[in-house]
Structure 1
Amino acid sequence: MVPFTSIAQANFTGITSYEPFYGHAEKAPQDWMVLRRFENAGRRYFLLVNPQTLDTKIADDGFYKITPMSYLQARKYFSSPPYIKVLAKAESKSVTIQDAGIERGMPKETGITLTADLCPSHRPLDRRIFTDIINGFKSVESPVPIALSVSGLWMKHHQPDIAWLKQLQANHEIYITWVNHSYNHRVSKTSPLKTNFLLEPGTDINYEVLETEKTMLANGLLPSVFFRFPGLVSDQQLVYKITGFGLIPIGTDAWLAKGQQPQAGSIVLIHGNGNEPVGVNDFIKLLQSKASSIANKQWLLYDLRETVEEDGSGR
């Protein structure tokens, strides 16, 4: 997996002109696809995705030869690598109002992909998740991969938690894939699903997506190419709006707090924002039950990019 570059670790606190921008970033040995363009402190930068591995990074203007393209032109140009195939697979699962997108991966061995959602919350981060996976896997898997679906409002109010997570990553104890979970994450207790969450009338989807990415970058976090719908709620039109940003919707087939049991290859969902302790408790029990399998490397945690990349490659 590609580590953070020095640029990606920077806190871009003065971002202007942040916008979708697609194209071909050319430089041997690997060409990248351009997803975003922005300026910070008078310099121009690009957010790129490796179409083979789904890794992202920030590139300084001038490092690559950039050929601008429309979104459709870029998808056609990079149609062979796994990234575009996974995007297309997510679009093929766009009809259901709940849990559209990629629901499970295809690991080579038995195990799961762990995703934890950080919806807006006044409670502190549930740090047991991280200390337990570090302790549970330290002898067989380090750093331990986890995908965190982060909302803009959670980042705004949880600076100490962000600093703690960044330190764990800097210490190579965990490896975080930062998933876009929208900025406001609005929810109504009374509205039906078809007008709830991001389907609420008047929602500015450009703001919800792009402002979250800007907030990630301002906090020194590297946006990935993944998106998780708040409440896992969407419709077909919304799915295509998200893939139109070059983002891959990620669902789940094992929301632990709802009693869904993980299978081999499951994308497991828990909430790490302190609002769903039952799901965290269930995950900790799952870890304890798999202790011997973990020790024998027969039950592992998988990187979200690797599992969906393998699935999208047709293997």
Structure 2
Amino acid sequence: MIKLYSTLLLLFFCLFSQAQNEIQQYKTYYATGSYAGENILILRQFNQAAQQSYLIVNPQTLETQIISSRQVAVKPITFQEFGTFLKNTPYYKALQTAQEQSLNLQDAGIIHGFPKEKGITLTIDLCPSHKPLDRNIFTSLIAAFQKEERPVPVALSITGKFMLSHADDIRWLQELQKTGDLDITWTNHTYNHHYNPKAPLNINFLMEPGTDLNFEILGLEQAMIERGLLPSVFFRFPGLVSDQKLVNQVTSYGLIPIGSDAWLAKGQASHAGSLVLIHGNGNEPIGVKDFIKLLATEKSTINQQQWLLYDLRSSVENEFR
């Protein structure tokens, strides 16, 4: 009887905790305000644990944060008014640049990092996969930069399907954040990451007819927040595939599309300032091998702090400041 009672009590607390994390009425909501002495832009509004909250971004640093609506007085604006209120900010300039660099079927948006010295901006895609997270990437990063750069900055392009099927891997990454080993920029890579290997690119990935873009973007963000992940203002198109219409739709959510000028598994070499792309979902061993080789090649310059990894947010900020 006591064992049954304990089991029921544990179940109650689990369900209660889950209910506390659940989010209702998650939606786009644009407004300006001041928080902690800084001008901010509100991107999303939602209810969680009987409290209304905002997802905000500092348009100067591109840092996001979740705050209570009680903590800030806001002035609602429309997306069309971004230019009026955010005109000279790195965030708005990056958003505009991403829109302008969207004519190609692949690799729209910002495709190059902007460090002042030699180094790269590393982005790792976590597309849906039945294979485990390639943890060797992260342990190699931490080992390579443990004396020169801690925490190690990395942008992870997360999908909903990977997040839901790799809960242990996500918790492992979160623990590396808590211990100060990694500084992760969580990039929106859509909830489902639809892909049809038989379909041409112009009707594939997010361009597949019938795709619910609102769910792909907001559904993922909501699931991320419920699991303790903080969405950034960056977005990576599945397959790097898009057209001008789709880019305009994505930017209307306040998100900055990023591509890559160095997809290692495709034989694209990295250079100073490259926005490097590898996959950490176990499906791209060649790209991972090439990146580990790159770390070994640059070992001496890493030790001399002449070859570093750059935070995606600060790279964009420095370029558009």
TM class, shorter-length? over 0.9
Q: Does the Cα contact within 8 Å between 1:111 and 1:302 map onto a contact in 2? A: yes
| Cross-structure match for 1:41 | 49
User: Take 1:289 and 1:302, find their aligned partners in 2: how far apart are those partners?
Assistant: 18
1:79 to 87, 99, 103: 87
Structure 1 residues 57 and 11: alpha-carbon distance in aligned structure 2, compared to 1, 3 A threshold: farther
| Cross-structure match for 2:61 | 53
**Where do 5+ consecutive residues of structure 2 fail to align?**
1-17
SS at match of 2:206: helix
TM-score in terms of structure 1 length: 0.95
| Cross-structure match for 2:143 | 135
1 or 2, which has the higher helix percentage?
Answer: 2
User: Take 1:93 and 1:78, find their aligned partners in 2: how far apart are those partners?
Assistant: 20
SS at match of 1:31: strand
The reply to whether residue 22 of structure 1 matches residue 36 of structure 2 is no
| Cross-structure match for 1:153 | 161
* TM-fit CA distance, 1:75: 3.6
Matched AA of 1:59: I
SS at match of 2:117: coil
2:208 to 193, 200, 211: 200
User: Take 2:21 and 2:41, find their aligned partners in 1: how far apart are those partners?
Assistant: 24
Matched AA of 1:63: Q
After TM superposition, the runs of 4+ consecutive aligned structure 1 residues lying more than 3 A away are none
The reply to whether residue 244 of structure 1 matches residue 252 of structure 2 is yes
SS at match of 1:51: coil
| Cross-structure match for 1:295 | 303
Q: Does the Cα contact within 8 Å between 2:82 and 2:92 map onto a contact in 1? A: no
Matched AA of 2:309: L
SS at match of 1:269: strand
| Cross-structure match for 2:131 | 123
1:63 to 62, 71, 77: 71
* TM-fit CA distance, 1:14: 1.3
* TM-fit CA distance, 1:80: 1.0
Could you list the per-position Cα deviations for residues 288-312 of structure 1 after superposition, in whole angstroms to 9, with x for gaps in the alignment? 0000000000000000011111122
The reply to whether residue 231 of structure 1 matches residue 234 of structure 2 is no
Count, aligned residues: 304
* TM-fit CA distance, 1:27: 3.5
Q: Does the Cα contact within 8 Å between 1:181 and 1:228 map onto a contact in 2? A: yes
Please give the residue correspondences for 1:263-274 in structure 2 after superposition, counting only pairs within 5 Å: 263-274=271-282
User: Take 1:197 and 1:186, find their aligned partners in 2: how far apart are those partners?
Assistant: 5
Larger Rg: 2
SS at match of 2:71: coil
* Percentage of identical aligned residues: 52
SS at match of 2:21: coil
Matched AA of 2:312: L
Could you list the per-position Cα deviations for residues 214-235 of structure 1 after superposition, in whole angstroms to 9, with x for gaps in the alignment? 1110110000000000000000
| Cross-structure match for 1:187 | 195
Matched AA of 1:51: P
| Cross-structure match for 1:170 | 178
